[in-house]
A and B are shown apart, each in its own frame.
Chain A
Amino acid sequence: MAPYTDWSASEIAERVRSGEVTAAEVTEAALARIAAVDDRVRAFLTVTEEAARAQALAVDRAVASGDETGPLAGVPVAVKDNLCTRGVRTTCGSRILPEFVPPYDATVVTRLREAGAVMVGKANLDEFAMGSSTENSAYGPSRNPWQLDRVPGGSSGGSAAAVAACETPVALGSDTGGSIRQPASLCGIVGLKPTYGRVSRYGLVAYASSLDQVGPLARCVDDAALVLSVIAGDDPLDSTCVDAPVPNYGATREAGVRGMRIGVPREFFAEGVDPAVGDLVRAAVDRLCEEGAEAEECSLPSVSYCLSAYYIIAPAEASSNLARYDGVKYGHRAATHTGHIGLMERTRAEGFGAEVQQRIMIGTYALSAGYYDAYYRRAQQVRTLIRRDFDSAFARFDVLVTPTSPTVAFPIGERADDPLAMKLADVCTLPVNMAGIPAISIPCGFLDGLPVGLQIMAPAFGEETMFRVAYAYEGLTDWHTRRPSL
């Protein structure tokens, strides 16, 4: 492996700022690694060599002239291709946006750059972030670096594969129902969904607006904490962003778990969850108890209805958000058509893939006259029940610990023709989005050479508590130091 590519983001930033290495050297190493492995991993849809070199040079100049450099100085990052990047093609993995070049940056992209990070490319995803394997990408699936004939998970599968394959130390993803945590779990890395409102979504191409959040993927907890510290915080351009102070998440590094109360909700170990995955998660909980935490089984009864409620709410919001792709303002336009309605109908039929069309159909139906109360309103009421369950659990426990994904990475193609089976991949992660709370996935073992992830949930704006447990567990194990052989 090329030098520097195995370093953590915090190591890179520290050594770039001290002048031990240059951002240019680190960037070249990342680009070389991408050139060496990405024809097999296929994590990237676009590699931005020239812009990356220019950004690295700017960082090196700042270091040389003694200017203030940010906490991510010279750190290569991959950005999910549903985050707008000024002057860089943003496809959303869709044929409807083959050559869309945003005229502005997403707020998180601006914050990364201001912190000194160097974007090396745009990562593959399921079309419009709808899916759990990247197989819905119009540009072909990414591969799991641990076993190339398996999916990396999704929808932020390109971001997860890039980090796991040491193409970049960190990446950004988006998470609407598990799209950061599930691929992190399947690729053996760390991924977290912040509290709804913690991170700006300005410039994130909208899927389901009441659920979407942007978050980091990394190879260690510390890097995830570092990136979250950079991207979190209020943004006048996103009115759902909450004006709460951003703590130094890394400060919880040494806090330990003594006296912490861990809830283990039994619904997340039920039918459909591989018992071997459940065993590894329970073993991790036991390990935390040896360090002084106290664990107890608990129940979130409404969670079993979560998948159904989610598959009303998310498609309903998607059908509304995706109405903007009409062949007029940007993106694909059908070559032949009859009238303005015909133009929209043909453009959207040609541009959207089958899964996106399906969700638009479901959402349109659920919101249509006469069905709104039976579907959308009822799903939102169920969402209240889910929130209440979490509220009562967090009255008793500091964190809840569950599996992230019910299974390890599945073979490419296995679920491609069974959308319902594909949706079950998110059964453990959806409740977190429905409740708006933060959760992190960290590696907790392997089954037949494939990684298993542990999910730690905390109350809204309780990221520090979540990090405390994640740091403690990572410190006791070496799962996060293992690398796939590529």
Chain B
Amino acid sequence: MALSRDELRSVARLARLELTDEQLEMQGRRLNELLARVEELQGLDVTGIEPTAHSIPRFNVHREDVLHPSLAQSEVLANAPEARDGCFVVPRIIED
């Protein structure tokens, strides 16, 4: 099934991608092409088949609870586009 332009807009918004009309049109075409290709999966009978999340399942992986040196705050912030007073700077989220 093909996605409408409004549905594409909403997917782009969920994905946090600000696409131009032209980009949305191109991405929509490619996405619909791929959805047409994967449509074949709908025809398979998978009743009662357990899903595989990991091919080599592991459960409850524990390690010794020991201290390891961690990165210095300055190292962690070194790659931030904007940092101040030991914090990441983000746009204002809460209005006055």
Given A196-B55, A349-B19, A364-B15: A101 and B50 interface contact (C-beta under 8 Å): no
| A345 at the B interface (CB under 8 A) | yes
B38 in contact (CB, < 8 A): yes
Given A240-B58, A308-B41, A419-B30: A340 in contact with B15 (beta carbons within 8 A) = no
The distance from the CB of B72 to the nearest CB of chain A, in whole angstroms, is 8
- Complex Cα distance A236/B91, Å? 36
User: A383 contacts the other chain (Cβ, under 8 Å)?
Assistant: yes
Given contacts A240-B58, A374-B42, A378-B41, contact A333 B18 (CB under 8 A): no
Could you mark each residue 434-447 of chain A with 1 if its beta carbon is under 8 Å from any beta carbon of chain B, else 0?
11110000000000
- A303 vs chain B, min Cβ distance (A): 13
CB–CB B53/A344 < 8 A: no
Q: Are A236 and B63 in contact (CB under 8 A)?
A: yes
Contact of B11 among A361, A420, A435, A436 (CB under 8 A): A361
B31 touches A362 (CB 8 A): yes
Contact count A vs B, C-beta below 8 Å: 167
What is the 8 Å Cβ interface bit string for chain B, positions 30-58, against chain A (1 contact, 0 not)?
11011001101110101001111111101
Task: Check B80–A328 contact: CB distance below 8 A.
Answer: yes
Q: Is A33 an interface residue when CB atoms closer than 8 A count as contact?
A: no
- Tally B residues with Cβ within 8 Å of A: 49
B55 touches A380 (CB 8 A): no
Scan residues 66-96 of chain B and give those whose CB is less than 8 A from a CB of chain A: 71, 75-76, 78-82, 88, 90-93
A368 / chain B contacts, CB cutoff of 8 Å: 11, 14
Contact B34 A319 (CB under 8 A): no
Judge if A233 is at the interface, Cβ distance under 8 Å.
Answer: no
- The reply to whether A311 and B38 form a contact with Cβ atoms under 8 Å apart is yes
Size category of the A interface is: 35 or more
Enumerate chain A residues within 8 angstroms of B30, measured Cβ to Cβ: 358, 419
Given the known interface contacts A343-B91, A382-B44, the answer about A195 and B56 at a Cβ–Cβ threshold of 8 Å is: yes
CA gap between A312 and B31 in the complex, in Å: 11
Q: How far is the CA of A460 from the CA of B79 in the complex (A)?
A: 39
CA distance in complex: A101, B82 (Å):
15
Kindly identify which residue among A101, A361, A382 contacts B27, using a CB–CB cutoff of 8 Å: A361
Q: Which of B17-33 contact A (CB under 8 A)?
A: 17-19, 23, 26-27, 30-31, 33
Which one of B8, B16, B80 lies within 8 Å of A345 (CB-CB)?
B16
Q: Chain A: interface secondary structure? A: helix
Minimum CB–CB distance from B60 to chain A (whole Å) comes to 10
Contact A381–B31 (Cβ < 8 Å): no
Cβ–Cβ contact A308 & B38, under 8 A: yes
Given contacts A101-B78, A308-B40, A348 and B16 within 8 Å (CB-CB): yes
Say whether A344 contacts B16, CB under 8 Å: yes
Of A346, A382, A420, which is in contact with the most chain B CB atoms at under 10 Å from its CB? A382
C-alpha gap A342/B18 in the complex (Å): 8
The answer to whether residues A348 and B51 also contact, given A329-B80, A332-B81 and a CB cut-off of 8 A, is no
The answer to whether A384 and B49 have CB atoms under 8 Å apart is yes
B81 touches A383 (CB 8 A): no
Query: Which of chain A's residues have a CB closer than 8 A to the CB of B63?
Result: 236
The answer to whether A354 and B33 touch across the interface, beta carbons within 8 angstroms, is no
Report chain B residues within 8 Å CB of A239: 58, 61
A360 touches B15 (CB 8 A): yes
Q: Are the C-beta atoms of A333 and B51 separated by less than 8 Å?
A: no
The answer for the CA separation of A333 and B89 in the assembled complex, in Å, is 11
Pairwise interchain contact A365-B71, C-beta atoms closer than 8 A: no
For the complex formed, measure the closest distance between the CB of B30 and the CB atoms of chain A, giving whole angstroms.
Answer: 5
* Contact in complex: A365, B54 (CB < 8 Å): no
Docked complex: A348-388 residues within 8 A CB-CB of B:
348-349, 352, 354, 357-358, 360-362, 364-365, 368, 374-375, 377-385, 387
Which residues of B have CB within 8 Å of A374? 42
Asked if A197 is at the interface of the complex by the 8 Å CB criterion, the answer is yes
Give Cα distance in the complex from A240 to B75, angstroms.
27
Min CB distance, A383 to chain B, in Å?
Answer: 4
User: A358-B30, A368-B14 given as contacts; is B51 within 8 A of A197 (CB)?
Assistant: no
Q: Is A309's CB under 8 angstroms from B79's CB?
A: no
**A7 contacts the other chain (CB 8 A):** no
- Report whether B58 and A352 are in contact in the complex, using a CB–CB cutoff of 8 Å: no
Contacts of B92 in A (CB 8 A): 339-340
Check B38–A341 contact: CB distance below 8 A. Answer: no
The answer, among B41, B49, B79, B90, for a CB contact under 8 Å with A343, is B90
Contact at B41–A309, with CB atoms within 8 Å?
Answer: yes
